[in-house]
């Protein structure tokens, strides 16, 4: 009886500790949002939320604080990173989990995990020295190499380990019976992967892409070094619409990092407002992913 009461007490204590941990995480996020919102309120009141979100001009010296150009820059560079990085990461995950022999997995997987530990400034230096000159070779008027394409390529490499590792775990978590049943029905190896394993692993793959998006949206230093850091609304520099990725831009995170050290007054408040917008964008991305995951499961 005493042993049973002790076990019950331990379980209650652990439940309380876990509940406190969960609530602490929630409170930290809530307090960060409330603090950022409090600092941003003067800008929202004086400038106006709608004007900030729809104006493309950011000139603090002239009291112009439009962030639409930076929203577009963040969105386009994240889109480019996803288009370049997700196929590569997903292919890597499938290769490691379904195709590669163990001795190759033991070599490749640590190499991919090592990418996650490289400081972002190193990625930025790599982008400046290697990628920017390569992009500059594309024949287009005004193409200096610095811009969305170079930034997207750098981000694609930065999000690759996150997406690849979680996607590999999701693919490996598919029950073995799914593979055996598909092969027993006469499906080829690739048919089994594409029509059975990947649909079953879809929720985990979507989660990996969402985490990659969060990394891409929040990256700062590497973007400042290769994106050109110009507050302009990205636009195609030739008749080809894809040349928009040769345009210079600035991201929301880069804007805060560049100017927060000397900003005062309404300028400082506008930078906090930029942080609020970024916070809300990440919430929208996560909410959309949860919706897609729910539909995938159902």
Residue 30 placed within a domain: no
Degrees, nearest 5: CA angle 201-204-207: 150
Domain coverage including residue 228: 49-297
pLDDT for position 297: 52
pLDDT for position 2: 60
The residue ranges of DSSP E strands in 57-109, in sequence order, are: 58-59, 64-65
Residue 37 placed within a domain: no
pLDDT for position 277: 92
pLDDT tens-digit profile, the chain (298 residues): 466 666 677 788 888 888 898 899 889 989 999 999 999 999 999 988 899 999 988 998 888 899 999 999 999 999 999 999 999 999 999 999 888 888 888 888 888 888 888 888 999 999 999 999 999 998 888 888 899 999 999 999 999 998 999 899 989 888 888 888 888 888 888 888 888 898 888 888 888 888 888 888 888 888 899 998 888 889 888 888 888 999 999 999 999 988 888 888 899 999 999 999 998 888 888 777 777 666 655 5
Q: What's the rounded Cα separation, in Å, for the pair 165 and 85?
A: 13
Residue 16 placed within a domain: no
Residue 4 placed within a domain: no
- Our count of domains for the chain comes to 1
Residue 17 placed within a domain: no
Q: What's the rounded Cα separation, in Å, for the pair 201 and 44?
A: 43
Residue 13 placed within a domain: no
Residue 297 neighbours by CB under 8 Å, 6+ apart? 203
Q: Under DSSP, is residue 228 helix (H, G, I), strand (E, B) or coil? A: strand
pTM of the model: 0.86
Q: What's the rounded Cα separation, in Å, for the pair 224 and 239?
A: 27
Query: What's the CATH number where 75 sits?
Result: 1.10.3720.10
Residue 38 placed within a domain: no
Residue 264 placed within a domain: yes
């Amino acid at each position: 009886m005493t042993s049973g009461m002790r076990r019950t007490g331990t379980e209650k204590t652990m439940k309380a500790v876990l509940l406190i941990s969960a609530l602490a995480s929630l409170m930290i996020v809530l307090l960060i949002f409330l603090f950022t919102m409090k600092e941003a309120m003067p800008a929202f009141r004086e400038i106006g939320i709608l004007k900030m979100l729809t104006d493309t001009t950011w000139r603090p010296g002239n009291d112009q604080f439009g962030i639409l150009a930076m929203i577009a820059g963040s969105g386009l560079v994240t889109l480019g990173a996803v288009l370049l990085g997700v196929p590569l990461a997903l292919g890597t995950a499938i290769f490691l989990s379904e195709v590669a022999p163990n001795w190759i997995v033991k070599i490749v997987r640590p190499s991919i995990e090592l990418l996650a530990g490289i400081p972002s400034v190193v990625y930025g230096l790599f982008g400046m020295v290697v990628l920017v000159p390569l992009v500059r070779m594309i024949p287009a008027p005004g193409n200096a190499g610095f811009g969305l394409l170079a930034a997207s390529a750098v981000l694609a490499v930065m999000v690759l380990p996150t997406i690849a590792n979680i996607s590999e775990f999701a693919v490996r978590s598919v029950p073995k019976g799914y593979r055996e049943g598909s092969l027993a029905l006469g499906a080829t190896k690739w048919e089994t992967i594409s029509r059975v394993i990947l649909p079953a692993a879809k929720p985990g793959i979507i989660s990996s892409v969402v985490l990659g998006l969060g990394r891409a949206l929040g990256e700062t230093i590497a973007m400042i070094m290769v994106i050109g850091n110009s507050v302009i609304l990205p636009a195609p520099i030739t008749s080809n619409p894809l040349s928009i990725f040769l345009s210079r831009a600035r991201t929301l995170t880069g804007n805060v990092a560049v100017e927060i050290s000397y900003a005062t007054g309404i300028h400082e408040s506008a930078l906090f407002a930029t942080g609020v917008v970024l916070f809300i964008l990440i919430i929208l991305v996560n909410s959309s992913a949860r919706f897609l995951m729910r539909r995938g499961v159902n």
